[in-house]
Structure 1
């Protein structure tokens, strides 16, 4: 029996109706009937009892179906795996995230993506605050959801996923902590933490050296991880600018010794997708789409 004949037999054995079987197979009923008759002639006995009202398997048909199904399913799975690999939909995709709250979105997208693409494995890793691009450049990551800006010639800055209002994270006892909002000019009265490791353009974007009117902003200790930053702020050693996700108590950042003050004239903080320009694959671009679709399904402003 040829593979198409096996498919016709198994489909009719499942539907027990020539019309429905033909519709599923995109064939005419006569083509299905001819194939079954050909198989029955070859075997020397009927596979179906059929009349104007009912179609049912004979004992031979029941036995043949039981023998054919496992092998046919293996063939289908093998073809599906080969097709997935040929389209780039197989293998491991290593995805980096820079904070727990943004990781929630990637985890949800990965779960849905892997259900639809069984031969894909999405591995999620943390991106160090002090080295935002190193994992991608070294080939240790394929994709990441990261804080912008990105001005790296070998990296592609993909779509923006989050665009969040900025807040000043400051000790709750500081005078500015009592205000409902501040402006960028007020940063001249604050010692600002910075981050050790990222490029200067990235540091200056998030911790500007001067206010809009040109007043210098004092820089305090440089940190390499989020937890150290929270501790420094709480102890009064400095402040820093973050997206308003920082005030979300679901991620343990909303503490009594920290205040989160809106900065009314600061540009939004953007988080976007990023990958190596020479390593873009069908699987990668498909997962980018999955992340964006998952983001659309979540409440506005931040992943829940």
Structure 2
């Protein structure tokens, strides 16, 4: 099928879906006149009217409905074949290992993976949860090709991709702690309780998320440290201290012995994409674009009804 014919088929199918010349033109980034010309050309070739047009509406004729049903599946197959061929030409084949740090990152990665597979069926995507201990290690040894994780990460052999989203912070505290009765807490409150921290991360990362002093310079005491998030929650629940986290953790890690109290003055937690310089391949960049598009679509979607 020639490219012109394929484009005219696309115009017909989009108009059959939209039933509006202006919306069809906007969606395909052509002029309404181009849409009209393409439809008239097809009607002349078929010898039948495909759409009934009035000043108020556009409707498929019986011949148009038959053509729509016959073309839809074939057009989809052609587009998928062209996409697969283009992907193979760009090296978007083989396997791609994508990692995420937090559960809310995983939700976005799964959605992006579904979209990526639809466009690049010859590339197998495997999804992993990145370890809290040495999360950059799998990028360096090639076990993971790309990762969505909390920032900052500043390593000479790791490429920082775009920041995907930012989230407010909260302090997870034991049930019954005085902070648990508050609506919000302040960074200055960190001087009032031992801070449970994580290890195995770069020191600048630890200092950023687990500061040693408050903004006014008061010392923040160190409590126990661990390499697992569930252990952080267990230590907090046992009354061993408090720990900062993303406020969204309350939706994913609810426990009867802890309370998540929002910060009123803490900076947002930024989440961004990382990949090793040695893994800067077409399929990595294609996944980055897909994840960005998925994140934009999720932000634009209306909130779910209660």
TM-score normalised to structure 1 length: 0.71
Matches within 5 A, 1:54-65: none
> Residues 83 and 299 of structure 1: is their aligned pair in 2 closer, same or farther, counting only changes over 3 Å?
closer
Q: Are 2:85 and 1:88 aligned?
A: no
In structure 2, what is the equivalent of residue 270 of structure 1? 270
Distance, in Å, in 1 between the alignment partners of 2:5 and 2:275 is 44
**Per-residue CA shift, 1:169-214, capped at 9, x if unaligned?**
1112111111111111110001111111111101111110111111
> Residues 186 and 23 of structure 1: is their aligned pair in 2 closer, same or farther, counting only changes over 3 Å?
closer
In structure 1, what is the equivalent of residue 227 of structure 2? 224
Matches within 5 A, 1:67-216: 83-216=86-219
Distance, in Å, in 2 between the alignment partners of 1:116 and 1:239 is 45
1:144 to partner: Cα distance: 0.3
> Residues 80 and 266 of structure 1: is their aligned pair in 2 closer, same or farther, counting only changes over 3 Å?
closer
Is the Cα–Cα contact under 8 Å of residues 83 and 119 in structure 2 kept in the other structure? Answer: no
Q: Report the secondary structure of 1:297's partner residue.
A: helix
Q: Aligned-residue CA RMSD in angstroms? A: 2.7
Distance, in Å, in 1 between the alignment partners of 2:141 and 2:193 is 37
> Residues 241 and 125 of structure 1: is their aligned pair in 2 closer, same or farther, counting only changes over 3 Å?
same
Distance, in Å, in 2 between the alignment partners of 1:104 and 1:195 is 23
Distance, in Å, in 2 between the alignment partners of 1:294 and 1:25 is 26
Distance, in Å, in 2 between the alignment partners of 1:53 and 1:241 is 70
> Residues 172 and 86 of structure 1: is their aligned pair in 2 closer, same or farther, counting only changes over 3 Å?
same
Distance, in Å, in 2 between the alignment partners of 1:165 and 1:80 is 39
Q: Report the secondary structure of 1:92's partner residue.
A: strand
Q: Report the secondary structure of 1:158's partner residue.
A: strand
Q: Report the secondary structure of 1:181's partner residue.
A: coil
Runs of 4+ aligned residues of structure 1 deviating over 6 Å after TM superposition are: none
In the alignment, structure 1 segments of 5+ residues that lack a partner are 1-6, 9-20, 27-51, 55-72
In structure 2, what is the equivalent of residue 246 of structure 1? 249
In structure 2, what is the equivalent of residue 70 of structure 1? none
In structure 1, what is the equivalent of residue 5 of structure 2? 23
TM-score normalised to structure 2 length: 0.71
In structure 1, what is the equivalent of residue 67 of structure 2? none
> Residues 188 and 111 of structure 1: is their aligned pair in 2 closer, same or farther, counting only changes over 3 Å?
same
Distance, in Å, in 1 between the alignment partners of 2:200 and 2:245 is 17
> Residues 187 and 25 of structure 1: is their aligned pair in 2 closer, same or farther, counting only changes over 3 Å?
closer
Distance, in Å, in 2 between the alignment partners of 1:180 and 1:23 is 62
Larger radius of gyration: 1
